[in-house]
Structure 1
């Protein structure tokens, strides 16, 4: 579990982020070989091939006194931005392992809101900007239901599926759900695209969610940055749900990234006559899980969810319960689990499992949900 503190940021983190001529690709190669200490990386960068003389001179200045750099005013602007409540500059070493282990992780994230949400459990919800009425309904309702099950919904604040996913989660939060929503932006925090989602972005932060971006202040929303940020949406998440997508939809790029990252990929089927379903059908042919209900989404995520929640189940094993109840209670988290999955995990017969669940319910430790699901209280 990451511990987020603003004191973890060093000025040299910002130098590496803003240094002209270095770039994300070279920075990734440096971190893969030398680790994440910014001074060590700057010293190693001296010897990189292909750098201009100007960039090498800037590296030398940064190693001696970063405040003498010609872009020192940008360092100050970012440090000033972080002094505001709810504003965070999170270097790579502060980010969850899911992001650190990506082949091309973000060196630094600007985050506005609640950084603890990065720990998850997170689900990416993506799809077309031009939604059918059914797609609009599904994106909103499934996100609403999943938020009630404790999942954080991650998307890109775009029109279409993204906006509906954020709004569905926010509605659930307003009603008392614990799952939140996170938006990954493709520009600096001093921009907001699309403009009609300014109110939505404000609500996300006001209600306990988070906005984040790998781009510095002053970075406008350029077309090439949108597909690049998708790796963060999928990398931050245990799985990716594609609601609707044409064959040319950018959400297919997100699905491919999720597969390459080893994440679960799920797609909702639709009418063969509708272009918005063609991309989902292609993903299903390529191996994505076909899901027809939000309950099936949780079933597909059962394995990664268990891994994500190992620490919480370890803590629960110390609860003051008889040993016969501990054996099954340690398998139940605040993320709903189906009775079938519980039977498989516990190895118990159905009658015995139901008896123990009823005892746990009487102890106030578990609540049983409609449809044969349960979760810890």
Structure 2
């Protein structure tokens, strides 16, 4: 398989037929063997049935139905793990991303880049609750991570498969894909892409996601700098506390010698800071152990697949799916 286009779907009933037509039309001139992987992330509006029918009509369509709404990051990860293309493209299912940008992104991958991520320079969204928070968040993320980017929120991205399968997406981490890939040494390129206003359905994004993105930013900043050696972070604070503690103990001793009285605040403070240093060392040790476990490679998924519906599935798999037997992705 040359190319896999992965689209998380959550209550996009009206958009699905148009999405299918636009993607297949845009990719036809490339002459590539491609698949359209539609991940049903717990839809409740009838999208599930429509997706199943679409997979029966077009052998290039694969549908991954999740048991419930796990979120866009988990749905995207499910699509990546279930796909088989040498190139992987992700995009939204709301028709705001334009599939005609995909050929340009694939061409850029052909120039030697590992990841091409979109930049919605002329974004067709409301200013106050969509564009402004995104603008501020992108500037903050760029400053914290030292990764220059204009639009981390654009779902339209193209990867080489070896980069895509290394991604661990949870929480709202799909927004940080370029940074996560850069941490693995991927060569990234930001490309201006088209953006269209939403016509059907309701947006799933709101200003409430800003807080979650900021919390995930803390995680990304930590992983980028200290994932391989957490003791460098916690040990630094522990040593600082040790220096402060020694200074406070020395001051307490000099005060006792010169004034013949013991300074209770300094003594109690030195004890507390010493305890804090011990805690930082303990946190660092635990984090080091957790880091070793993480890099050892635990096979654990943040999503669970209910059914798989595609023409290439075996008869046994189709029978199991129809009978309600769940097969975990891995």
TM-score, normalised to structure 1's length? 0.24
Which structure has the bigger radius of gyration? 2
TM-score, normalised to structure 2's length? 0.27
Higher relative CO (Cα under 8 Å, sequence separation at least 6) belongs to 2
